[in-house]
Amino acid sequence: MGAWEGKAALVAGGTRGTGLAVARALLARGCDVFLNYAHDETAAKSAVTGLDHLPGTATALRGDITDPATLPRLLHTIRQRHERLDVFVHSAASFHPMDAADPAPDLMRTDLTTALAPLVQGVRPLVKAMAGGPGRIVAISSNGARRVVPRYVSAGMAKAALEAQVRYLAAELAPLGITVNAVSTARIDKGPGTADADLMRALAARTPAGRLTTPDDIADVVTLLCADEAAWIHGQVITADGGLSLRA
């Protein structure tokens, strides 16, 4: 736990799904994690309660991460407890199913804003908060950024733009000791009761590793990218899908 103890991480979208799994993985290593959420107070309280047995400390911070004023406010709160921020994970997501030939412009704009606004508007305060030491920025992407997934055009375009944003930021922030990378996967197994059970079973059967990706699988890769040993990885999109994307 030594290398992680006392480090501070902010996870946008950290009270559910993949973001919560990332928070759990960082907390297990002794990191102090701030879980950002937009609206659901009940889910936030439940998330923090479920994490209180881990070595690090979990704190929920409410705020719409797409609002330009939110990230500076959250970082101000964090820096009242910590000298600097070590890790920022962008796991906030928005998904509105639609066909490419029948788009809903307003909903598409929402998906693009959710994907891009946190780092477009927040990069300056993040750089300031990470000054004085190595920093890690990791975004959660999807194979829909590079492959055609039915009715996924809006989120797919948003994730593709996010991956481009990661590359540009990585090139400019590398001299400051800040790495910027992304983790991508295919369909995630969110547990029993998930819709499209037949599709999930078919995808699991096609996955060389024998099952679908879980949020914990993604969280493990995020923590690898946040480790000191990952300092030479810049601007990469790491695919963690059990080998599913290798299939023709």
Q: How many CA atoms lie within 13 A of 86 on its CB side?
A: 22
Residue 168 a catalytic site member: no
**Active-site hit among 7, 128, 152, 190:** 152
Task: Order the strands of the 32-37 sheet from edge to edge.
Answer: 58-62, 32-37, 8-12, 87-90, 135-140, 178-184, 237-239
CA distance 182 to 95: 18
First to last CA, the chain: 41
Residue 152 a catalytic site member: yes
**Active-site hit among 7, 37, 159, 190:** 159
59's torsion region: left (phi>0), alpha (psi -120 to 50) or beta? beta
Residues designated catalytic: 152, 159
